Amino acid sequence: MISDAHEGIKAAVARVFRATWQRCRVHFMRNALAHAGRSGRRVVSAFIATAFAQDHADAAKAQWRQVADQVRPKLPKLAALLDEAEEDVLAYMTFPKEHRAKIHSTNPLERVNGEIKRRTEVVGIFPNEAAITRLVGAILLEQNDVYGPPSRCKGFGVCWRVTGTCSRVSGLGARRHGRRP
């Protein structure tokens, strides 16, 4: 589950979904840069980005700690924030590299919500609840076709490494990709 650092969301994820929680990288950077001061934002942003650029979780954590130690003398509040948020922000690094771009922030979800808002505002008033359900459902299906998992994830390959299970694509998705259900 990916979100900003809202304590209520974190508690709900742990209690209801029993899932791991990932702090959105974009929201974290906004919080971190607020501690950097206007003149130091570019430098701090570049320092933190070096941790995100690492290929492996261990390397990212080592770089994260190095950045925190480097800013500690001049920006102790930022260093404390980095210490506190390390596990939450770098949680996505435990997934295969192919998945990281889609799970490091809430931007894909915000994009979908923005598209739903834009299209529903164009319509304005809906005749009934079923009409809005059809429109939102169509938008979500369209978004899945555009931004959904690539065909290599719909079979074996990368998904095997993430879930440890193997299931073939069936039904409409299989037909769309030229496979039998």
132 and 68 together in one domain: no
Task: Give the predicted TM-score (pTM) of the model.
Answer: 0.60
Which of the listed residues 67, 87, 103 is the one where a domain comes to its end? 103
9 and 88 together in one domain: yes
Backbone angles phi, psi at 164, to 5 degrees: 75, 10
For residues 144 and 159, the model is more confident at 144
- Total count of domains within the chain: 3
- Taking each continuous run of H as one helix and of E as one strand, the counts in the chain are 10, 2
Give the chain's mean pLDDT: 77
pLDDT of residue 45: 93
Is 2's pLDDT higher than 50?
yes
pLDDT of residue 68: 95
Specify the pairing of strand 2-3 against strand 22-23.
Answer: parallel
88 and 142 together in one domain: no
pLDDT of residue 175: 37
Sign of the four-CA dihedral 154, 160, 85, 7: positive
169 and 127 together in one domain: no
Backbone angles phi, psi at 60, to 5 degrees: -65, -45
Percentage with pLDDT > 90 across the chain:
25
Structure tokens, 175 = 């037909």
Q: Residues 101-140: pLDDT tens digits?
A: 777 766 777 788 888 899 888 888 889 999 989 988 988 8
Residue 55's domain spans which residues? Answer: 2-103
Instruction: Compute the distance between CA of residue 73 and CA of residue 79 in angstroms, rounded to an integer.
Output: 9
Percentage with pLDDT > 70 across the chain:
71
Is 7's pLDDT higher than 50?
yes
35 and 67 together in one domain: yes
Q: Taking Cα atoms as reference points, which of 100, 88, 79, 71 lies closest to residue 21?
A: 88
What DSSP string describes 98-146? HHHHHHSSSHHHHHHHHHHHHHHHHH-S-SSHHHHHHHHHHHHHHHHHH
Work out the pLDDT band at 62, boundaries 50, 70, 90: very high
Poorest-confidence range of 29-43, 56-70, 161-175?
A: 161-175
